[in-house]
Structure 1
């Protein structure tokens, strides 16, 4: 019997290892080689199988499993890690801006030329082989692999010691967690974590549409993400990684930079490209000019070219200063700026009703592309820069990506220009629907408050039907547009009035080129709508697209309210107007026993209240009542006074879990919640118990410092009365 059990377990472990290997291979093919072999659906099937096996068999846990990329539990703080080899920065040399009257001998690349001549002098010859590659505008990190497995990842810090950001880096899909066969015993790879241009632009567009501050450039967005203590938040940011340097190393000799690049390729580690090799000063200047021309097509932000001596032996001979190698330099390009005419300002209406002003420009070629439009973000930004229609403005691409108006050329301003007023410009009405607009106190954005605004309808329906919301199969962007354009839907709730017949004949094409939705697709939608009626409260809250309410906030609101009706008429929401920011905690008493978590703070509460008090929110409640839909919470926990303590003995208690326990952490979390507890990811003064297994160092230390009771599983059994 034991032999049979052992054979079975060995088979399960073998399957888990195979799935991990396959998923890592598919990640490399997709994110590094751009040659995927399987569809997203096939990948998801393998992923779900591995996820299920790991949940059932925690004894085979591996911190570098592909399933860890979604992010683990939040950290209390980053640990410090000492670099195996000092992580130095590279000295900058700058492209010089020509003065208004440049002298005859002016050379923009003078500092770069001086750098190369120092190499010639120190190595005693004219021709020095160097590499030239794009300078990635990202965050410098170090990845340490031992025997082919990611051991840890760290920031540069002060060059000697950095932050351990391993949990955050594991969420980045282009970072291999396990290397290909034949990996050296120790390989420390230096590189940059960055945000691809398209992903950055899409993320900023979403934030702009929601009335949130946009990031200045991809580097700021990347750095901000890596500072998050909660890896789940990092996993939501579209980060990527490229290697460009070597730290500590134990393996076959690497005589030159070319050998190092060959090792990266062999191990499946994505690296910086292109890398040009030149041997003369003239070739160096040509290569830098080539990088400057081609970098706009690379898909990520760059602000210069990095030059390195090719031969590693010569690098050692040249040596280092206290902060940087003498054998490398980063040549920084000047941001390209162009003057153009601002012909008009148009107003776009986003999914949440935010009115975004856009500068309509005389087309001008900047940083590799022709620019004819640039976002002006909001009225406050326009007033700060005093931008007016008819002005000549200076344009550059923020972070070399997003067109932005830098400033107005005042000496070219027309005499009859007038300050811009968004409200006057749109005649006080939404440019899409003619509905009312308003600006909430404390916000800079104007919004259309008409729930049936067609500019918002398509994106609201897409959100409503999305997989993480009500998961209404077959209703994507094209179908949503057709439903709105053909007058079948004005709001997401109109989906529930559709019939199979009206859907089957829906024309997804044009009047000239008709494309019917079809009976099979129509049947899928009708079936999905029936299922959606019974979806839990948190999914409905997320589907409604209420500002500030993401997945986590929706879950927390559902924990506190049994039904949508209860939430809309809740007496607990006004309490949330209390300022719950960290710097205001001393002023506020502890909230009721079911204190609101970090997922539902003041801003979220006020957004929810504003929604249900608005005409649009009231309309939603009326329509849902007519449709007979009142979503119920699947994770509701009553207040302690209302709870049946025989069923929920932990009602009103907040737990944090740490260390290794008799069951997996997710399983323990569900168990505690089933007994009425709230489980948080981080310790605060409001935590009642830290449930600690083997290990758990930093959380245990913080608990003792805050006076939070630390218990084991035996103590938990006592609390449960068993």
Structure 2
């Protein structure tokens, strides 16, 4: 490889890594697993070492974390939050071919440490590397000052209110009376909590999180702490930054401080003094970690004695006195016996691999998701193949690749449409793939596989809150062909409903009950709640419809921007949002640099012109949408799904049934542009508000009240802020408001202001 070829490859790797960094750090999601990311980074660093003239300080190999987000106020770290150097366990083939132990890279790191410290009595600490999100919490004179993300290592996002929703995190620490103490740790979700959260999201029509780390990152980026408080976050402290009036000569002294202060810490912990016990502890942890309730993919090893930390120093990315030893992802080979197609509540067809059972990472794996046709085609997965399964911090195992050397000659390429003959496995209706989406769907609203779950979603507390309509009644209504569409609930006869015989229930004793009659009382309550539901606001109805990729937050934002269903269907805002998303998707795949780099392309000038036109269109659309300040939850994907639904046969049928039953949902939070609904005589006209802390009513209640009275609610305190409405556990926003002499009100003060 010459310098020009190396330059092209390095730029390609940098662009790819920056893209995945943005997904991982800024958006709380990911498209590749950790081991695939690590391989890209290792390749980039290797090439940069081989070609020093191509090294760039802005390369991902020199960066820490992601950029701070503009939606949050920023915190400058008093002590930089650097990353940790990754030391990888050797893969089996490399270990065998070179005759090295799997921990060879770690022993090399250890020997460098010995030569740098030159003290045979130094020790190391070993603890699990939790797969979560790094945070720092600063306490001043015992009270919490702020909590922040790592960000780019120098500046992070202020997430104080989100952190204070975690039960184990105190707003005050009694034995910290003087000075500042900066505690650093990892926010995470336990595996069982993650599974329950994903089940709930699926029922609510929201996309599932990829893994616990992805769910944690997405939660911490929420602007509403009330949403965060309903997510099962936990935090474990493992280190410190700025310390005043405290002297931890050893890291184990800091751990003792955590124990005495009753702060959360990890129970698995070792202090070791030689190479033999280092390797022993690493292997013990590799065995024990499969029993932990949370995801971990390695060990963090630190020099115990604090005096050596400054002596060893740091690079621009990580300290030299600590490393993260990454275990190789546990893999296994097994046979793909069959593919099952599941029909979800929104009609999406998901292929699932049925595997010969195999034991990986402490569990027996017999199924793995195949995601969609594109994923199957990319990996060329076929029934009968021997596949390589990996479980690396993921709750759901993944098929990494196919062992094509073991492929039977009679296998054929797999695709969902041909496999199903183009029809839904549940109702025999035709399946479709909507433009711009990767998944096949059944759009038959009467499909038994999705109708029963659609009914329970329709009746949920956050939707129409239909009293008595649970899964048992829903299944009976579908099985007996009484209901073929959720809106047909409004045609139910109370007497017939009371006499319905429900399927036997599973009792706590393990026995099965006798068949049950629904009964008059329950029937009356359900009919009454159906009558009430007709008057519910637009946002409730939008969410109740169970539209794919369109959750509760999208429904609320859509209702803010539109008065009724008719406005939504003919909305320029939604049309422009979709247009912008489609152009952005094109620009992602067609960068100007990529267009110019293609040799002998007769369409190059035309493509450059298209690129420039699209950039101009984006600017024009942004200018059009800017006054509406549309929340990210109502983005291109959500809008596309919404309009696709209303244009579908199911959507048209739904609109007809709205007319038939005289249901005309109206927005109860209509406020597309604040200035259009504000008049000078409104009590809070022109005032700027920030809401913080834990309040007795949902934050949305106060936001709505303020906006109805002419005020504007913003996310961060500034010199332009007029009022701070502060509840319990108010953090850095309260401190900043005090410094800027902003009017600070509690809930009682707020009510007094409104009645003056």
**Would you call these one fold, judging by a TM-score over 0.5?**
yes
Superposed, 1:210-229 pairs within 5 Å as 217-220=211-214, 222-223=216-217, 226=220
Task: Quote how far apart the aligned CAs of 1:117 are.
Answer: 4.7
Is 1:547 the equivalent of 2:542? no
Task: Quote how far apart the aligned CAs of 1:439 are.
Answer: 0.7
Per mean C-alpha deviation after superposition, the further-off stretch among 138-147 and 123-132 is: 123-132
Q: Which residue of 1 aligns with 2:347?
A: 353
Q: Is the 8 A contact 2:573 2:625 kept in 1?
A: no
Q: Is the 8 A contact 1:655 1:691 kept in 2?
A: no
Q: Which residue of 2 aligns with 1:286?
A: 280
Q: Sort the Cα spacing of 1:528 and 1:142 in 2 relative to 1 into closer, same or farther, 3 A.
A: same
Aligned pair partner of 1:332 in 304, 326, 332: 326
For residues 325 and 268 of structure 1, what CA distance do their matches in structure 2 show? 28
Q: Which residue of 1 aligns with 2:147?
A: 153
Aligned pair partner of 2:191 in 197, 202, 213: 197
Per mean C-alpha deviation after superposition, the further-off stretch among 457-466 and 119-128 is: 119-128
For residues 525 and 462 of structure 2, what CA distance do their matches in structure 1 show? 17
What SS does the aligned partner of 2:96 have? coil
For residues 655 and 520 of structure 2, what CA distance do their matches in structure 1 show? 31
Superposed, 1:59-138 pairs within 5 Å as 76-99=70-93, 102=96, 106-117=100-111, 129-138=123-132
Q: Which residue of 1 aligns with 2:688?
A: 657
Q: Which residue of 2 aligns with 1:426?
A: 420
Superposed, 1:630-669 pairs within 5 Å as 630-636=664-670, 657-658=688-689
Task: Quote how far apart the aligned CAs of 1:103 are.
Answer: 6.3
Q: Which residue of 2 aligns with 1:499?
A: 494
Q: Which residue of 2 aligns with 1:308?
A: 302
For residues 100 and 550 of structure 1, what CA distance do their matches in structure 2 show? 47
For residues 105 and 412 of structure 2, what CA distance do their matches in structure 1 show? 45
Is 1:587 the equivalent of 2:620? yes
What SS does the aligned partner of 1:455 have? helix
Q: Which residue of 2 aligns with 1:615?
A: 649
- 1:272-321 superposed Cα distances (whole Å, 9 cap, x missing partner): 331133444433323221211221232322111112344545x4586433
Superposed, 1:309-458 pairs within 5 Å as 309-312=303-306, 315=308, 319-322=312-315, 324-458=318-452
Q: Sort the Cα spacing of 1:356 and 1:692 in 2 relative to 1 into closer, same or farther, 3 A.
A: same
Q: Is the 8 A contact 2:190 2:294 kept in 1?
A: yes
Q: Is the 8 A contact 2:298 2:324 kept in 1?
A: yes
What SS does the aligned partner of 1:429 have? coil
Task: Quote how far apart the aligned CAs of 1:356 are.
Answer: 0.7
For residues 624 and 268 of structure 2, what CA distance do their matches in structure 1 show? 57
For residues 224 and 569 of structure 1, what CA distance do their matches in structure 2 show? 30
Task: Quote how far apart the aligned CAs of 1:381 are.
Answer: 0.8
Aligned pair partner of 1:509 in 485, 505, 512: 505
Q: Is the 8 A contact 2:689 2:714 kept in 1?
A: no
What SS does the aligned partner of 2:397 have? strand
Superposed, 1:502-541 pairs within 5 Å as 502-503=497-498, 505-509=501-505, 513-514=513-514, 516=516, 521-541=522-542
What SS does the aligned partner of 1:419 have? coil
Superposed, 1:21-32 pairs within 5 Å as none
Aligned pair partner of 1:247 in 227, 241, 252: 241
Task: Quote how far apart the aligned CAs of 1:270 are.
Answer: 2.2
Q: Sort the Cα spacing of 1:144 and 1:615 in 2 relative to 1 into closer, same or farther, 3 A.
A: same
What SS does the aligned partner of 2:330 have? coil
For residues 478 and 564 of structure 2, what CA distance do their matches in structure 1 show? 29
Q: Sort the Cα spacing of 1:100 and 1:170 in 2 relative to 1 into closer, same or farther, 3 A.
A: closer
Task: Quote how far apart the aligned CAs of 1:331 are.
Answer: 1.6
Q: Give the TM-score, by structure 2 length.
A: 0.69
Q: Sort the Cα spacing of 1:101 and 1:191 in 2 relative to 1 into closer, same or farther, 3 A.
A: closer
What SS does the aligned partner of 1:402 have? coil
Aligned pair partner of 1:166 in 159, 169, 176: 159
Q: Is the 8 A contact 1:98 1:106 kept in 2?
A: no
Per mean C-alpha deviation after superposition, the further-off stretch among 208-217 and 506-515 is: 208-217
For residues 559 and 81 of structure 1, what CA distance do their matches in structure 2 show? 32
Per mean C-alpha deviation after superposition, the further-off stretch among 435-444 and 324-333 is: 324-333
Q: Is the 8 A contact 2:687 2:722 kept in 1?
A: no
Q: Sort the Cα spacing of 1:385 and 1:521 in 2 relative to 1 into closer, same or farther, 3 A.
A: same
Task: Quote how far apart the aligned CAs of 1:245 are.
Answer: 0.7
Superposed, 1:253-272 pairs within 5 Å as 253-272=247-266
What SS does the aligned partner of 2:502 have? coil
Q: Is the 8 A contact 1:132 1:305 kept in 2?
A: yes
For residues 386 and 568 of structure 1, what CA distance do their matches in structure 2 show? 41
Cα RMSD of the aligned pairs, angstroms, is 4.4
For residues 134 and 522 of structure 2, what CA distance do their matches in structure 1 show? 48
Task: Quote how far apart the aligned CAs of 1:396 are.
Answer: 0.2
For residues 621 and 123 of structure 2, what CA distance do their matches in structure 1 show? 65
Task: Quote how far apart the aligned CAs of 1:97 are.
Answer: 2.1
Q: Is the 8 A contact 2:303 2:309 kept in 1?
A: no
User: Unmatched 5+ residue regions in structure 1?
Assistant: 1-73, 684-689, 700-722
For residues 639 and 220 of structure 1, what CA distance do their matches in structure 2 show? 33
Number of matched pairs: 608
Task: Quote how far apart the aligned CAs of 1:520 are.
Answer: 5.3
What SS does the aligned partner of 2:264 have? coil
Q: Sort the Cα spacing of 1:596 and 1:320 in 2 relative to 1 into closer, same or farther, 3 A.
A: closer
For residues 316 and 391 of structure 1, what CA distance do their matches in structure 2 show? 51
What SS does the aligned partner of 2:579 have? coil
What SS does the aligned partner of 1:102 have? helix
For residues 469 and 706 of structure 2, what CA distance do their matches in structure 1 show? 37
Q: Sort the Cα spacing of 1:113 and 1:526 in 2 relative to 1 into closer, same or farther, 3 A.
A: same
For residues 106 and 301 of structure 1, what CA distance do their matches in structure 2 show? 28
Q: Sort the Cα spacing of 1:648 and 1:607 in 2 relative to 1 into closer, same or farther, 3 A.
A: farther
For residues 300 and 577 of structure 2, what CA distance do their matches in structure 1 show? 51
Task: Quote how far apart the aligned CAs of 1:420 are.
Answer: 1.0
Q: Sort the Cα spacing of 1:635 and 1:415 in 2 relative to 1 into closer, same or farther, 3 A.
A: same
Q: Sort the Cα spacing of 1:277 and 1:101 in 2 relative to 1 into closer, same or farther, 3 A.
A: closer
Task: Quote how far apart the aligned CAs of 1:327 are.
Answer: 4.1
Q: Which residue of 2 aligns with 1:467?
A: 461
Q: Sort the Cα spacing of 1:144 and 1:515 in 2 relative to 1 into closer, same or farther, 3 A.
A: farther
Q: Which residue of 1 aligns with 2:728?
A: none
Task: Quote how far apart the aligned CAs of 1:108 are.
Answer: 1.2
Per mean C-alpha deviation after superposition, the further-off stretch among 579-588 and 385-394 is: 579-588
- 1:42-86 superposed Cα distances (whole Å, 9 cap, x missing partner): xxxxxxxxxxxxxxxxxxxxxxxxxxxxxxxx9845554333334
Per mean C-alpha deviation after superposition, the further-off stretch among 132-141 and 342-351 is: 132-141
User: Unmatched 5+ residue regions in structure 2?
Assistant: 1-67, 585-614, 726-732, 734-756
